[in-house]
């Protein structure tokens, strides 16, 4: 490891919803993410007429967390929310609904890009299919005791690569 490399610890959470006021205004802290997701979601949110404000920040480069702020706009055709502060009929969607919609839009956009890439480069599709089969057959993402064994295999693989480099 070089002097400039830093081993970042995983975030202590995957998602935290912050804010105690009206549900139309929330900050979402997403763990193990950075500017890539933050800026993409901000862009999609700002192009949504239901969103009045969207912004993101990465509090510190060594913390693997991105904060996304969402404030929804007034709209007469929305499911109305009661903020619990006497403002019973403000006409704003909950920020969580708008963020979910933005995530679905981003997923759809990524699928379109991936489909185009796979159309041009069939080997990408083959690689993706092999990876999905491997993940499905090896039980990744299900948790359990196998996770420790998988981590050990990854660590052993990294050591082998390093020793191969030394031979050159």
145-160 pLDDT, tens digit per residue, is 444 444 444 444 444 4
Each residue's pLDDT tens digit, 83-130: 444 444 478 999 999 999 999 999 999 999 999 999 999 999 999 899
The residues of the chain that CATH labels 3.30.1360.10 are: 15-120
Q: What is the DSSP letter of 2?
A: -
Q: What average pLDDT score do residues 52-78 get? A: 89
* Segment 57-76 mean pLDDT: 91
- Tokens in use for 103? 């995530």
Nearest Cα to 109, choosing from 51, 37, 49, 53?
37
Q: What superfamily would CATH give domain 15-120? A: RNA polymerase, RBP11-like subunit (3.30.1360.10)
Among candidate residues 50, 42, 44, 106, the one with its CA nearest the CA of residue 69:
42
């Amino acid at each position: 490891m070089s002097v400039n490399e830093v081993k970042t610890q995983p975030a202590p959470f995957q998602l935290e919803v912050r804010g105690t006021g009206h549900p139309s205004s929330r900050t979402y802290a997403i763990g193990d993410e950075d500017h890539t997701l933050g800026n993409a979601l901000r862009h999609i949110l700002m192009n949504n007429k239901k969103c009045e404000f969207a912004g993101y920040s990465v509090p510190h480069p060594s913390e693997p967390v991105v904060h996304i702020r969402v404030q929804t706009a007034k709209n007469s055709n929305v499911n109305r929310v009661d903020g619990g502060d006497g403002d019973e009929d403000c006409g704003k969607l909950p920020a969580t609904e708008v963020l979910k919609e933005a995530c679905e839009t981003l997923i759809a956009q990524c699928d379109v890009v991936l489909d185009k890439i796979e159309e041009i480069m069939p080997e990408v599709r083959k690689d993706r299919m092999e990876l999905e089969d491997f993940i499905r057959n090896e039980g990744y993402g299900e948790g359990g005791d196998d996770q420790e064994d998988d981590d050990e295999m990854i660590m052993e693989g990294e050591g082998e690569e390093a020793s191969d480099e030394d031979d050159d």
